[in-house]
Structure 1
Amino acid sequence: MASSHPSILLVGSGKMGGAMLDGWLASKTPPKIFVMDRHKANDDARFSVVKTAEEIPSSFTPDIIVLAVKPAAAETAITSLVKALGSRASSCAILSVLAGKTCLSLAEMAKNAGQAMPVLRAMPNTPTSVGAGMSGFFASPEASKTQAQICHDLMLAIGEVVTVDKEEDLATVTGISGSGPAYVFLLAELLEKAAVKYGLPADSARRLARATIYGAGRMLQTLPEDAETLRKNVTSPNGTTAAALSVLMEENAWPKNVPEAVQAARKRSDELAS
């Protein structure tokens, strides 16, 4: 990381915040972490927990405030933090992982609360919890190079990072990698159910589906060929795979539905911004 031991205030430790926390704690150089979450138990010596902003010790000044609450709770969280941190807030930057909420809207919330704060955004996914995340990242011009590097490295510590030049591109990142694990989990779920339907035991169906998806993912990560080439390589003419793909690649099947699914996620991301 740009700073070997940055201080992080993680606001919210639900599904995404919790996944990021697990990933950071498992990394080689975990940051100093305070978690602000009224529902989080303080049972791990590797980080500290406060229930509210007022409980943040006066001796703790975060380099980065990672905002991982529900979008509707963003303004309340930022307002309470600015009030509780006081002058310390002037040296903090906000790293938001909220879908839809723009850097400008979050910066205005901080300004209205009495403190100008630079805002950066990341769109991670839940595989961050096992160090295999994929994040889109955008740094607003108001953030310093050091702040941008710390935030980038925080995300890099829990997976891969793609930096986008335009903030609006994060909506597409949301539809591809942010929501993408759920698409893969759905495929695993459907393969398992199909295997059981055609007579395999549930435990065998589970192993077959999951190992197949894991193996295909390994090939995509390690081999130089693109996805289309890998698909063609495993598809013998008039063979079993070709028969299955003839169903999945019908005009109204995957070629139509997958882009529509991504667009639905993009649209919802834009709606959450308002």
Structure 2
Amino acid sequence: MLRNGVPFLWGVGILYQTNKWLSRCYLNALTGNSAWDWKKEIVILTGGSSGIGAAVASRLAKNGTKVIILDIQPPLDETVANVFFYATDISSSTAIEQVAEDIRRQHGDPSVLINNAGTGNSKLIMDQSAAETERIFNINILAHFHLVRQFLPAMVKQNHGHVVTVASMASFVTQGKNVSYACTKAAALAFHEGLGQEIKHRYHAPKVRTTIVHPTLTRTPLVEHVTRDSQSRSFCLEPETVADAIVEQLYSGQGGQLILPARFSLITGIRGFPSWLQELIRDALTSSRQSKAS
């Protein structure tokens, strides 16, 4: 039995590594890396004052990279070297346009854009006001369009850059009381995929990389209301764990899709599951969330 199982395990391992290699090749347009000098790169980071963003900013800044934070709240420590804060409401396209002009004039053209800022609530569709829905969409997805329009042209011109989209496992599965947030995260995945296609086929800038990150529930102020019980807390990722993965991806010079934790990769294929199984999964997630809220 053991002897028969060894070739099978070898075969699975070979298929797994081949799949990783093919994904890496085709998600990077079959091109090698451009030269990155992280002492000279300029990073735009939305939502960098807390949570995942703050952890990313800290790691990059410690290694000498200039990080420009766009957020409505200042970082806890505004004296950190290499970190620059611009108070910006990214739900406003006008505010984004104005701050982009200031950044280019004062710092030059950024080579990395990390669309990390996000918001949401646990309201039912019928209980959410139009203003609340619009704000979630403005921050979680429309800001990505506005920021890319501002900063991608310079990356394309240099054929050098990286756009990181911080999405969620909600890109793949929706539960009740989370609909507007999940809609924006599904849209973020479509944005990432379409952006990569445009960079490759329309702008012919294959060394401008794109990465999307799908963390599961992460211990940030955004989800504090659903992580009060010990079971949820034990299930949560720490912001530092997600930040480590993002920074490692940047330093690799490669684009790609990060599922955090990796053992949840199967969920990315949920849309290919039988409809009844998809519904059972959604039922279980919604029931679990409702019981924690009660």
Q: Normalising to structure 1: TM-score of the pair?
A: 0.41
Structure with the larger RCO, 1 or 2 (CA within 8 Å, 6+ apart): 2
Larger Cα-atom Rg: 1
Q: Normalising to structure 2: TM-score of the pair?
A: 0.39
